[in-house]
Chains A and B, each alone.
Chain A
Amino acid sequence: MGDTTVLAVENLSVEFRSRRRIVRAVSDVSFTLKAGRTFALVGESGSGKSVTSLAIMRLLAAPAGRITGGSVTLHAPDGPLALTALSERAMRAVRGRQIAMIFQEPMTSLNPLFTVGDQIAEVARHHLGTSRAEAFKGAVALLDRVGIPAAAHRAHAYPHELSGGMRQRAMIAMALACKPLVMIADEPTTALDVTVQAQMLELIRELQDETGMAVLFITHNLGVVAEIASEVAVMYGGQIVERGEAGAIFAAPRHPYTRGLLDSLPPEIDSNMPVRAPLKAIPGSVVDLAALPPGCRFAPRCAWRQPRCETGAIALDADPANRLVRCVRAQEVA
């Protein structure tokens, strides 16, 4: 099953329009999710990674946010579905059923006035028409599966009565309720303690092995990507600047931005190291999506910049190993 494509994003573009300006949040983004695999979208805040996931779910804040081009296709068991062309009603049957989503803030992402059991049960009741009692039983089983002790008791707890890690487990249980084909995880570990982060990644991996779902993992944390993803796309200024096998990209980044991100990671702690080396930061600040430069969007911050980088758009070119890089000097960066 490893290579079955379940979700294909092709040339997706998203804009936010206000009276005064147009923010091009996502430009021409393409990637595919495969069953049982994890695909990571990596980038700084404002790189367009979260907007991409909300666009897939068609949850962009209307009317300001709009998909202006491209397509998203879900390969469901009963045939492909063009999500970008579905009616809102048909899209609602996909959300939570075929594609589920978990978010960064487990505290605020759960409704404070309902028990977690009720909130998990709601998904099956809504999509599958399961009875209240049956759905609640299912919620208890899911809570148990995601590793919440005394699940039957905790199902009656309100979100404020649970710890951050448990709340995120409850969110994952909610996402699993209808056995979705795809789970989108938008920075699911960012708000958690480091020890809990590792448990959460382990849990997601286990559940993926069990259910064969594809995971779209959105993060700014490259350490997390190395743990979980088989493929990575690095986003900058709304574009994918580098895409390929996770291992290959970590071993040899080809885009200056990817390289900058990897260099800015703290080095592994080594007791033999007498002096702590300063962290290498990428100079400058993130590009303004309402005033994009004509050439390479990373050029103003790039150490490899040449005059030709700033004149025209740079293409996302494939190298022989099927790595995509949006840089004219990719071979030199490597």
Chain B
Amino acid sequence: MFRAVSNRLGSIATVMFIVATVVFVISRVIPGDPASVVLGAAATQDEIARLRIDWGLDKPLIVQYVAFLGQLIRLDFGTSLFLGQPVAAAMLERAELTISLCILATLISVLFGMPLGILAGARRDGLFDRLGSALAILGASLPSFWVGLILIRFLAVDLGWFPVSGWGGPEAGWAERLHHLILPGVVLSLPNAVLLLRITRTSMIDVMSQDYIRTARAKGLGPSVVILRHALRNALLPVVTVIGLTAALMIGRTVVTETVFGLPGIGNLVVQAVLRRDYPVLQGVLMTVAGLYVVINLIVDLLYRWIDPRVRGSLQ
């Protein structure tokens, strides 16, 4: 276990270095200049040049790149050009909201997608399989911003069951926050739930046709034991991977959801950073998301080892 983790950490460092390079390049090739954004249309060339010197943007790209890497090693993302606060602090302020939203959406997609997928796969072409397929097509073809607006229109505005936007502010209790986050959570979870349903179904169908399922039935075990004990654990391997990867990708998709529901989270921070060419914030957020992605992948690997004895011996 310890060796598996330590071996992984080496490759994680390499991955993060590559990510850092890509992030730096991407943020600098976006056309536009933060100094002219901040100073407005009336600014003179002189003023703009002075601000660029203040921010270190006049230096050659390679010098900026090395400085950026140096900061990263110290886990320092620098200071936002616009917010007047360190990037880490700006992210932390918004992280709680985004992370709660992502966890909620992951829970919704697992609770909805997996059981339906299991039922659909265990009885192929049965009632749940048909129902699941219909829902999957529906879910996959509806864009989340549209679903979000529709839910706001009917459930929040007309029926008043949910708040229209926001998250209740920093003083709100957890119940009130949850109430605010349910609609965005549902919207964010939708594509994941559909994907999870389909992956679980396919995996279950594959497993149910295996010889060891026939053996389990030949032992006289009932359908619930066969499905839940013998089939599900085998079917879980690809499902765990998908849960992990979609949970990580979700952070990127919060951009749209947070905009639709007026939530001041990380997604919102990214949108502002892109619009204003706030390089440190952009770099900080992208690095953090990439880091989370890598960490979630590591967790998935470890889960694999826990589920499948065949992987335990070979991952070292």
Contacts and interface: CB of A to CB of B under 8 A. Distances in A.
Interface string A235-270: 000000000000000000000000000000000000
A160 B220 contact: no
B220 A126 contact: yes
Contacts of B310: 112, 158, 160
Contacts, number: 67
A130 to B, nearest CB: 14
B8 interface: no
Give chain B's interface residue range (CB within 8 Å of chain A). 20 to 34
Interface string B292-303: 000000000000
Q: How many residues of A sit at the interface, in one of the four size bands?
A: 20 to 34
Given A113-B234, A113-B309, A122 B212 contact: no
Interface in B187-212: 210-212
B276 to A, nearest CB: 52
B237 to A, nearest CB: 9
B311 to A, nearest CB: 10
Nearest to B221: A126
Q: Which of B212, B217, B225, B234 has most chain A Cβ within 10 Å?
A: B212
A108 B210 contact: yes
B221 A109 contact: no
A108 B210 CA distance: 7
B225 to A, nearest CB: 8
Contacts of A127: 220
A160 B215 CA distance: 17
Given A158-B309, A158-B310, A160-B310, A109 B212 contact: yes
Contact of A111 (B216, B218, B220, B222): B216
A138 to B, nearest CB: 14
A166 interface: no
Nearest to B237: A113
A96 B218 contact: yes
B122 to A, nearest CB: 13
Interface string A119-131: 0001100110000
B74 interface: no
A59 B214 contact: yes
Contact of A59 (B210, B212, B217): B217
Contact of A113 (B217, B219, B221, B233): B233
Which 4 interchain pairs have the tightest Cβ spacing? A96-B220, A95-B220, A96-B219, A108-B211
Interface of A: 57, 59, 89, 92-97, 100-101, 103, 105, 108-113, 122-123, 126-127, 158, 160, 171, 174
